[in-house]
Each structure stands twice: as C-alpha cells, then as structure tokens.
A and B are shown apart, each in its own frame.
Chain A
Amino acid sequence: MTNLLFNEPEWDFATLDRTYKAIEEIALTDLKLDVYPNQIEVISSEQMLDAYSSLAMPLMYNHWSFGKLFAREEAMYRAGYSALAYEIVINSSPCISYLLEENTMTMQALVMAHAAFGHNHFFKNNYLFRQWTNAEGILDYLAFAKKYVAACEDKYGRDEVEAILDSAHALMDQGVFRYRRPPRPSRERTLEKMRARAQYEEQSYNELWRTLPAGIEPPNTVPTVDTEDDYGGDMKLPEENLLYFLEKHSPSLKAWQRETLRIVRNLAQYFYPQKQTKVMNEGCASFVHHAIMNILYDRGMISEGSLLEFMHSHTSVIFQPEFDDRRYYGINPYALGFGMMTDIKRIATEPTDEDREWFPQFAGKGDWIGVLKDAWANYRDESFVEQFLSPKLMRDFRLFALFDKADEEAYRVSAIHNETGFRKVRQMLARQYDVGLNEPNIQVKSADLKGNRRLVLEHKMHRGVPLNGKTKELVLAHVERLWGHDVGLSETETD
C-alpha cells in the first residue's frame, strides 16, 4: 500500500484534486495558513501569454500597450529567450490561480502550494492588501472598466479614448495615495452615478417641449449644472496623487474622461501594495511551497523523483547571480525573501550567539510559524528587511554597499558584510525597497483656476537626484493634455 499521490508526470483532474486536498491539509493544519477560497484554472500557453499582457488580470480594458506587451512576450517566448511563468495568481476573492497545462504533475503540485496557499495567504493577511485593495470587488470592477472603456470607444471614437488612456498610463506611478487611505472602488457607487447621469439626461430631454413655439420656456427646467463636470471645489494642495487631482480639478475634461482617469487610478492603487511587497510576497510563496513539498515527501506522498524535480525548479527560481555575473539583474526577490524566511526559521530553532544578540525577541523560542505569520501580516519589504535581515544572510549573499555621486568618476564602497557594516548595509538595502524613495516624489503645488489656469508641479528631489530629462518632457506633454492648459514642473532640493 503506497501513500503516493501520483507517480506519473502526466496530470489529470482527479490527481489534481487529490493533491490539492493533501496540500490544503498541510497548509491549514501544519502551517496554520489562512486563505481565501481557491479557484484553480488550467490554461494553455497562449492563454498564459494573454494573461501576461493584460497585467496578469483575467479581464482588462483594451489598449495598444497591452498588445505591444503581448507581441514582445510572444517573440521572447517563441525564440526561447524566456520561459513562461508556471503560474499566475490574482489577488481576488476567490483567489484565482492559473496552472499552465504543460506543467508536469510535480510542477502543478508546486504551483498549487506556491500560488493557491503561499500567495493567497499573503494577499489575505498582509496589512497593505487588507487596507488598500478590495479583493472581493476587483473582478467586478474590472468587468465594469472593460465595458465602460469599450462603450466610450463606441461613443467617442478609439483615438479619443486611446489619447486619454495614454496620458493616464503615463501618470500611473503618480496615481496612488501613498499615505491617506483611498476611497474603495465600489462598483455600486459607480453604477449609481451612471444611473444618475442617465436619468438626468432623460429628464432634461422632453419630447413635448420641442413642439412649443419659440420663446416659451418649459416650466421647471432642470438646472443644467452637471455635478460631474464641476471641477472646482476645494483642491487641498499639495496633492501627491496627480491622477486624482486631474480627475477632480482639470478644467478641460469631460465626464467620461474623468471616469477613465478614475479607472486607471483605481488600478494603480490596486497594484501599489504588490510593488511594495515583492520580496515578501514571493518569499512567502516560496517558503510555503518549499515547506509543503518537503512535508509531502516526508509523509511518502510524493516520490524521490518528484522531489528532485521540484528541487531543480526551486533552486533555479531562488538563484541569485552575483553582481559581476552576466545574468545579474538586481537582487532576486525570490532569493532574498526565501533566504530571509528560512533564516527566521533557523534563528527560531537553532540560533547562534550572534542571532541571540541581534534577535533577542524570538531567537531560540521555537515559534517560527508565529514569527513568520506576524511578519507576513504586518510588514512590507522595506520594514521587513530593516527588521529581519540577519548578519548570517548578509554574509551568505556577500552584500556590500556602494555610494554613488553623479559627478564623481568612481563608486565608493561604503560598507560591506562585516561587524561594522552590517547595520549600514541592512539599512541601505531597506531604503532600496522603499518605493517612496525610489520613485520621484511629484506633487501638485498650485493650480490657478481663475487666472491663466497654469498648473505647477513640484518634484521634491531626494538627495539631489533629478528627473530624467527626456521622459520628463514626454510625460509633461501628457499632463498638459489632461489639464488642457499650461503646465510647469520645478525640481527643488529637500532635506
């Protein structure tokens, strides 16, 4: 009598189901994960490419930039430069995971553990996702967005819609609320608004009045102020969310254009937490799949062959090339995240003296699941690195920090992985993950609605790093299109 869930590389739905149940058991009881209900979909490679090129969402409005992305991905894939991801997972409830049909059964098990439990747990529990995204509403909202954009294309022409989307996309990075909480994108409210608008149009059009002789005014004319076009109001400057500002206050946009900006802004906000938690999100998923696959093996539920296949794929995912390697492309979030989380487990169970000194709160206490779950729930990349990166891991990665001043000929090594450098390296790596510092801090400084209608933006430079001149001009042209009048941008030093 064998415990094996599967022995063949081929998969079928019965095996998937059996394996899913085994994984679920381990995830919920051994790892005590807390997940959204899962919905698992099997798709072909072409559908995977489709999904790639619509920002990995199952639904998306149409825009040429997604077509460009698809063309590029397809060319890369066909030429064999890049393999497809094994999975895509969507932060929604139910949590949708895509499995690629070409995967072997071992890979499907790995992907289910990774996406349907690892990512899923992270999405459901991390504070950024809980506060800033609405997992229940996102698919409905996307369906609405797709329909709305298509309707606008019909009504106002593709070129018009394309122009607005181009401009809105250019400002997507500046289209998020970083500090204050955004209003939830509620489909009901949007529908409500649309109904109100349609109703207004209906009311203000009355067949009977057309037959009145000229000069007689119909009684009780509905006031012609469309609140949607009311762009004035309290501007509350400075404003960091440029898309929000333009949507609310641009003097030249029509109601549908404001709605389109709003759609792009809501999307940007939805993706913002993912930007801030790449290391943690991938780390969490990798840690979970690693744990689950090993437990499956320990219990005799997968074969040695499967385990080896899994290890092969796992090690290539968490591979970190060194900086002078041709394959180096930044620090691999899978490698760092998985490394740190495995390290947390080590510190909790088999700490060294150094670990006891650095992490007195949990070193040797044994409760690694508790520490990890707390980290997954309450940290983002920046704070996670700042808090949990251990000297041992810095040594393992051989991390070193460079100081770069634009007008100097050389970089200066400012700290390395040694006793005096640990804290400095750790702090600098944490800064590197601070989205707030790595993206330009641009705000609306003033807008003259009564006079020449000039809009002034301000880039508050961090340590004197200016904007790239070429793209700056291009993006400003987009801002001008949305604002409809003159736009200026000043760059100022802060500190």
Chain B
Amino acid sequence: MTHFIDRRLNPKGKSLGNRQRFLRRARTQIREAVQKSLKDSSVADLDKDRKVRISTKGTKEPRFRLDPKAGGEHDFVLPGNKQFTPGDEIKKPPSGEAGGRGKEAADYAEGDDDFEFTMTQDEVLDIFFEDLELPNLVRTTLKETPNRVWKRAGITTAGSPTQINLIRTMRNAQGRRLALHRPKLKDVEALQADLDALEQEPETNRERIAALKEEIARLNAKRKWVGFIDPVDVRFNSYTEQPVPTSQAVMFCLMDVSGSMGEREKDLAKRFYMLLHLFLKRRYKRVDIVFIRHTHDAQEVDEQEFFYSRQSGGTIVSTALDKMLEIQKERYATADWNIYAAQASDGYTQSGDARRCVEMLNNDIMPLCQYYAYIEILDEREMEVFASEESGAELWRAYRTVADSWANFATKRISKPADIFPVFRELFKKTEAS
C-alpha cells in the first residue's frame, strides 16, 4: 500500500526557528558584517536581500578529529594512477590543499573559512537599526492617547461561548460531580450487565432483578439530576480594555531643493531621508513624519512628492523653519508630542538669512525640540576645502553657534553616498543615559 502525499502546500519556513537561533548566536559577527556591507552601498539597495559574509568564530562546532599531519603514519588509497609504481615517492604539497589531498585536509582540519549567506531585508534592517533610537524621547500624557489594548482580567461566570475557559470549567464540573457523588457510567453499565446475566434465569432471581432494576433506575435518575456539566460550572476568560501610554513623536524633515543643490546633492539628501523614514517606520509605530521642502518658499508635501518630484528655485532657508513652526503650532502641541527635526541643505542661503535662522532656532525652535539634526551636503571638493569643522559655508558657520549653546543640536556633513550610513548612525546612536 503506497501513499503519495502532496506536501508542497505545507507551511514553509520550518527551519525559521533554527535560523533565528543562528542569527542570535552569530550576532556580533553578523552585526559587523552588516555594517561593513552597508558602508559601500546605496540606500536604494536597502530593499534588497543582502549577502553577508561572516567568520565562523562563535559558530564553531568542534569535534575530536585526528590530525595525521601532526604525527604518526597512515595509508590511503586514491583512484586514477597514471605513472606510479610501488616505491615511488611523491612530494607532499606544502599546504595540504592541492591535488588529491583536498579531501583529506577538509576531513581533518576544521575549516576556519568565512562563510557567506543571504539575509533578508528585514533581518538586515533590524540589525542596522538595532542600537539606534530617537534621543530624549519622553512619555507624553495619557489622556490623548487613543491606544488601547485588550488585557486578561481573570475569569468570569458570564461571557461569550468563544471565550470559554475549558480547563476551569471542567475542573469545576469534576469537583461538583465528586461532591455530589454522581454515579459513574461504568458502574451503571456493570449493574446492567449483572442484570442481563440474571435475566437469563428470571425465575430464580426475581427479587434481585427487581432490586437491581430499582437501583439502576435510581442511579440513572441521579445521573440526570447531577449533570456531567452544569451551567454553574462554566467559566469564561475575561478581558478588559486598557489604555497604554505611548510616546507620540513627530519628525520634521526639511529639505533644500533649490537651484544651488545639484542633482547629486539632492540625491544624497533624499537618500538620507529615505533611511530616516525607514528607521522611523520600523522602530516607532506611532511617529508622524512631516515633509517640508523649500526653495525661496516652503511647502508641506507628501512622501511621494518629497522623494520623487523635481522642483527648483532660489534659497531662503528660514521659510522652511517658519513652515515648521506653523505646522507645529497647528497640530503638534509640545505637551503631547516629542518634536524632532532633520534639516538637509548645501549650506547656501540668501545673505542675511542665516542670521534669521539662528535667531529662530535659538528663540523658537530649539526650546520645543527634543533633537535637531542638521546635515550639510557638500561635494567632495568642498569637503577637502572645509576639512575642519570650523570652516564652512555661511549656514554651517551660523549653525555652529547654535550647536554650541544647545546640546540637542547636531551638525554633520555628507559628501558621498558612503557617508550616509555612518553619519546616520552617529546622529541616532543610543546614548548611555537612555
């Protein structure tokens, strides 16, 4: 008798548990490998699965092995003799890897090779974002939070049938049956069997038959009266809805798309925001993101527009700050919201505007913000010119003064795609205090 079984529709990923255990085990190696592999790649590659090479350190599986190279003697047989006759000598290959010794070497020495495997995008991002966070995030008030979860709240006597707690119910039923001495079906059947036996000869056993019948009737009546399960036994799991404190946060993304920003600069800025976007979406379920782009005039736009549309014009940075303040006043009260901002620009603005920006930051914006990150996008030539932190374009120099007076204001420079990941990590590194 043969059975064909079609298993193709069975759930896949049977070894997912093993994979998670493996990733956990090789965590340190994988983390290094992921950072390294991300360093040289563009953000757009983030949505692909990624090959990662890790060393086998930490995931070694040692066994006792013989080592014929270290001592002693042995024989071995090989196929494919062409010219050898007994007594010939063959020089040993130096590494033991070449020629026919390949297998032997692999057999006896635990390979120290690196080993390469593919990680999914999710796994890569998890590891990349693992030790990053929004700085200074605080719990805001409960009253505004619409978040509620169902929590267990013990056992009740009333509820819907789907919430029945079988274990409690059956336990109660059993206790009640024991206490009220409910006759067992087995006993009734035994009596019935006796009765059947006696009824073979009804004449001689008349009295006992009558007694047995009465007894059986009594037991059956009692079985009916003391039910196997009774409404009083039934218990239900109970749930109540409880509010959960959440921290609400909003991230303002301010991007300069003016004419002075070349395609390359815009591209770098967009990639930085993509990463930021991914990070927030992944780690903070309840973060609002506000996209503001500006030329000589600032607009709030949606995600699609922010990342993909082209626009150009003059540069007045302060318009973006104005817009941000306006939106904040309208929608994001500081009592309920953690406010974050990330600004990207090439550092050029209309003359005099930088001073206005600094004033706005110092007086209006920084008191509201948990954290403000300014990213200056340079081309590589400029990067060389402005090698030191001190020198820079107008906006950079102006913002340095803000950074001096506010600890939660950070400035960083990006000049090539490879800078994005490290700069991002620096900006959002978990601090000891938190």
A50-B12 contact given A158-B21, A404-B68, CB 8 Å threshold: yes
Distance (whole angstroms) from the CB of A424 to the closest CB of chain B: 9
Q: Mark B1-43, 1 if CB is under 8 A from A, else 0.
A: 1111111101011110111111111100000000000000000
Interface residues of A in 403-439 (CB under 8 A from B): 403-407, 409-417, 420-421, 425, 428-429, 431-432, 438-439
Q: Are B15 and A67 in contact (CB under 8 A)?
A: yes
Distance (whole angstroms) from the CB of A27 to the closest CB of chain B: 12
Instruction: Decide yes or no whether B186 CB sits under 8 A from chain A.
Output: no
Residues of chain A contacted by B68 (CB below 8 angstroms): 404, 406, 465
Q: Are A467 and B62 in contact (CB under 8 A)?
A: no
Identify the closest chain B residue to A94 (Cβ). Answer: B3
Instruction: Decide yes or no whether B308 CB sits under 8 A from chain A.
Output: no
Residues of chain B contacted by A47 (CB below 8 angstroms): 7-8, 10, 12, 14
Residues of chain B contacted by A416 (CB below 8 angstroms): 81, 84-86
Q: Are B87 and A63 in contact (CB under 8 A)?
A: no
Q: Which of B101-109, B169-177, B262-270 contacts A (4 or more CB under 8 A)?
A: B101-109
Instruction: Decide yes or no whether B184 CB sits under 8 A from chain A.
Output: no
Q: Which of A33-41, A272-280, A288-296, A305-313 contacts B (4 or more CB under 8 A)?
A: A33-41
Complex: how many Å from CA A70 to CA B14? 11
Partner of B78, one of A16, A399, A421, A459: A399
Instruction: Decide yes or no whether B74 CB sits under 8 A from chain A.
Output: yes
> What number of A residues sit within 8 Å (CB to CB) of B?
100
Distance (whole angstroms) from the CB of A41 to the closest CB of chain B: 4
Instruction: Decide yes or no whether A191 CB sits under 8 A from chain B.
Output: no
Distance (whole angstroms) from the CB of A38 to the closest CB of chain B: 5
The listed residue with most A CB atoms (<10 A of its CB), out of B4, B64, B87, is B64
Interface residues of A in 242-274 (CB under 8 A from B): none
Instruction: Decide yes or no whether A320 CB sits under 8 A from chain B.
Output: yes
Partner of A406, one of B63, B72, B81: B72
Distance (whole angstroms) from the CB of A225 to the closest CB of chain B: 32
Residues of chain A contacted by B70 (CB below 8 angstroms): 406, 465-466, 468-469
Instruction: Decide yes or no whether A86 CB sits under 8 A from chain B.
Output: no
Instruction: Decide yes or no whether B73 CB sits under 8 A from chain A.
Output: yes
Residues of chain A contacted by B72 (CB below 8 angstroms): 405-406, 461-466
Known: A322-B79, A410-B89. 7 other contacts (CB 8 A): A47-B7, A53-B18, A101-B8, A172-B63, A462-B72, A465-B71, A475-B63
- Which residues of B come within 8 Å of A, CB atoms? 1-8, 10, 12-15, 17-26, 51, 59-82, 84-92, 99-100, 102-103, 107-110, 115-118
- Which residues of A come within 8 Å of B, CB atoms? 13, 16-17, 20, 24, 37-44, 46-47, 49-50, 53-54, 62-68, 70-72, 74-75, 78, 94, 98, 101, 158, 162, 166, 169-170, 172-174, 320-325, 328-331, 397-407, 409-417, 420-421, 425, 428-429, 431-432, 438-440, 442, 459, 461-472, 474-475, 478
